[in-house]
Chains A and B, each alone.
Chain A
C-alpha cells in the first residue's frame, strides 16, 4: 500500500512539473518578445518625471536688431560683428548705402546656462555698452511653463567730445549714460514657429527738450519662421508708447543663416543704430518714406570652458 501511494505521489508530482515546464516552453517564444516588452514597460513605469526644456527657440541671442530669449551657453564666447548701412534708395553711387555704415563689435559670454553678459563698442555716437541677460522661466516640453521669460538689462555710454557750453554751464558725465530694461517673453510653438514679446523701458539722462520724457516705454513684438533646418525668416517691431520727438518705430525684417560655427543675420530695417537705446528710441528713418537700410549681424561661437563631462584630461572612452 505504501509503495503504491509513493509511486502515485511521485508520478503526480513529476507530471505536474512536466506540465508546468511544457507551459513554460509553449509561451517561451511569446515570452521572448513579451519579456522585452515587460522590461520596456518596467523602464517606462519607473521613469522619474524628468522635465525636458525647450531648446533652440531662436538660432542666436539676437532676434533681428534686439535680443531674443536665447542665452549664450555656459563657457561659450560669442563674437559679434554688426553693420547697419545707409539708405538703400541712395542708389548705385553710394552702392545702395554700403558707403556709410554704423558698426558694432562685441563679445557675449555665458557665465552659466542661465546668465550671460556682453560688452560692445559701436561707432554710432562712439558708444560702449555692457549688458546682462538672465533666464527667469524656461518653456518645458511637457507639464511645465508654456513660455520662456528672460530679463535683459543694459547700461551704455556715448563717448563723443563734450559740446562747448555757454560759460557757467557744465557738461555732466551722466549726460552720456543710457539705461535699458527689457523683459523677453517667448514661446516656441513648434519646430518652425517661435514668437516673442519685448516690453521695454529706456531711460535717457539727457533729452533735447524739457517737453520730452526721459523714459521711453515701448512694446516689441517679433518672431521667426524656419524655412529649412538652417535658414529662418525673422521679423521685429517696436512700438513706442512714450516717445522722443522726430523718431520712428523700428521695423526690421531679416533672414538667419546658420552654418557650422556661424550665424549670419541679414536684414532690412529703418534703424541705423544697433544698441537698444538707439534703435528703439532714436531711429530717424521711416519705412513709409522709403528709409530702408540693409544690415547684418555675424555671430561666431568659441568654447572657452569645456562642459564637465569633457574636462578630466582627454578622452577616457
Chain B
C-alpha cells in the first residue's frame, strides 16, 4: 500500500510539463538599409530577449539609440529625423514560436522554427511571421533569424532627396544567446 501511494505521488510529480524561461540583455540585432548609392549598416548589442520554452512565447526589446553606425552623423540623423528616438525609444516584438513542441530544450541541437507575433517599430504595430532557428547548447539557447521589413510600413518618412539612398526593404539580422533564468 505504501509502495503504491509513493509510486502514485511520483507519477503525479512527472505529470506536470517542464517549463523554462531564457533571457539575455546583450542580444545582437543588426540591419542593412543601404543601396548601391549608400552603405547603411548598424548594429546593436543591447537587445533584450526572453523566451518561455513551455508556451513558446518570445519577446524582444531594443533601445533604438543602441544602434551604432559607422558614421556618427548618420547615427544622429537616424535617431533625430527618421526613428524619432526621443519619442519612441524602443522597438518591440511580442510573438510565439508556433512549433515550439518540436524543440527539445533538454537536448543539444539546432531546430528550425517559425514565430508569429506583433512587431512594433516607430509606434506602429504590425503582425509578422518570422522563420528562424533555435540552437540548444546545455543551459543556453541561441535564437537566430533574418527577415525584411519596409520602413514605409512603420510610418518612417524618407524625404525624396535621399529616397535612392535608403532601401525600400530593410534586412534585419538577429543573433541572441539566451541563458536559462533561475
Interface, chain A (partner B; CB < 8 A): 2, 5-6, 9-10, 13, 16-17, 20-21, 24, 28, 31-32, 35-40, 42-44, 46-48, 50, 52, 54-56, 73-76, 141, 191, 229-230, 259-261, 301, 303, 306-307, 309-310, 315, 317
List the A residue with the shortest CB-CB distance to B81. A229
List the A residue with the shortest CB-CB distance to B24. A43
- Jot down 22 A-B pairs with beta carbons below 8 A, ordered by A: A9-B8, A10-B8, A35-B52, A35-B96, A36-B57, A36-B58, A38-B57, A43-B23, A43-B59, A47-B25, A48-B25, A55-B80, A56-B79, A73-B72, A73-B73, A75-B72, A76-B73, A301-B72, A303-B71, A306-B70, A309-B45, A317-B43
Q: How far is the CA of A55 from the CA of B21 in the complex (A)?
A: 36
Chain A min CB distance to B39 (Å): 9
Which of B8, B55, B59 makes the CB contact (< 8 A) with A13? B8
Of the listed stretches B87-95, B105-113, B128-136, name the one at the interface; the rest are far from the partner chain.
B87-95
List the B residue with the shortest CB-CB distance to A309. B68
Which positions 42-65 of chain B face chain A at CB distance < 8 Å?
43, 45, 48, 50-52, 54-55, 57-59, 61, 63, 65
Residues of A within 8 A of B30 (CB): 317
Determine whether the beta carbon of B8 is less than 8 Å from that of A42. Answer: no
Number of A-B contacts (CB under 8 A): 121
Chain B min CB distance to A13 (Å): 5
Q: How far is the CA of A74 from the CA of B72 in the complex (A)?
A: 8
User: Does B170 sit within 8 A of A, measured CB to CB?
Assistant: no
Interface, chain B (partner A; CB < 8 A): 1, 4-5, 8, 11-12, 15-17, 21, 23, 25, 28, 30, 41, 43, 45, 48, 50-52, 54-55, 57-59, 61, 63, 65, 68-73, 76, 79-81, 84, 86-87, 89, 92, 94-96, 117, 159, 161-162, 165, 173, 175, 181
3 closest A-B pairs by CB: A73-B72, A35-B57, A39-B50
Determine whether the beta carbon of A229 is less than 8 Å from that of B73. Answer: no
Given contacts A17-B15, A32-B55, A317-B43, contact A301 B86 (CB under 8 A): no
Given contacts A32-B55, A39-B21, A55-B79, contact A303 B72 (CB under 8 A): yes
List the B residue with the shortest CB-CB distance to A75. B72
